């Protein structure tokens, strides 16, 4: 099973994805970790472009081929990236579930963004303006929507497990 997360920074996506990975014993692929490792390896602090996503696609493919459950944790903002994740699942004969995490309470979302501390050394987190002005395309496929402002992390994880 391939569980493909999406959502703006500060929506609660990584917290939920991490808790779900622990609950399922799944491989956890976090774009922030991959992209920061690329920046460190190349000794710069610029955007990595699509490189982090391409690494995640191939790591997911390798692990799905082994029959492991995989969770991809990324903003996943574009139809192109969503389609690429789906293609990874289809190419390995794996079932997949797309999960968009939102935080419908703007004040809560903003507070989360403004108070976050990175757990990845060297990673610069976006400010509120960067979050609300980020390109984030509308979905063109059915997917599970989780509102982290209305449920606890545990409840969100349970909802996702029920949808599997």
Q: What is the residue extent of each domain of the chain?
A: 2-163
Angle at the Cα of 140 from the Cα atoms of 33 and 15, rounded to 5 degrees: 30
CATH number of the domain at 2-163, please? Answer: 3.40.50.300
Beta bridge partners of 27: 70
Residue 12 CA: distances (Å) to CA of 4, 51, 74, 121, 158: 14, 24, 11, 20, 15
How distant is the alpha carbon of residue 18 from its chain centre? Answer: 10
Decide: pTM greater than 0.85.
yes
At 44 the pLDDT is 74
Pair 15, 157: CB distance under 8 Å: no
Q: What is the pLDDT of residues 45-82, one digit of tens each?
A: 777 789 999 999 999 999 999 999 999 999 999 999 99
């Amino acid at each position: 099973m391939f569980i493909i997360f999406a959502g703006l920074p500060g929506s609660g996506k990584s917290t939920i994805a991490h808790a779900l990975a622990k609950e399922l014993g799944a491989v956890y692929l976090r774009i922030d970790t991959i992209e920061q490792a690329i920046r460190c390896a190349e000794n710069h602090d610029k955007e990595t472009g699509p490189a982090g996503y391409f690494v995640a696609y191939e790591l997911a493919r390798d692990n799905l081929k082994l029959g492991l459950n995989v969770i991809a944790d990324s903003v996943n903002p574009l139809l192109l990236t969503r389609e690429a994740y789906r293609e990874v699942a289809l190419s390995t004969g794996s079932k997949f579930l797309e999960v968009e995490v939102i935080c419908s309470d703007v004040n809560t979302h903003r507070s989360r963004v403004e108070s976050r501390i990175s757990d990845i050394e060297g990673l610069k987190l976006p400010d509120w303006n960067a979050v609300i002005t980020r390109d984030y395309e509308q979905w063109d496929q059915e997917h599970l929507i989780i509102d982290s402002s209305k449920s606890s992390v545990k409840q969100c994880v349970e909802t996702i497990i029920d949808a599997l």
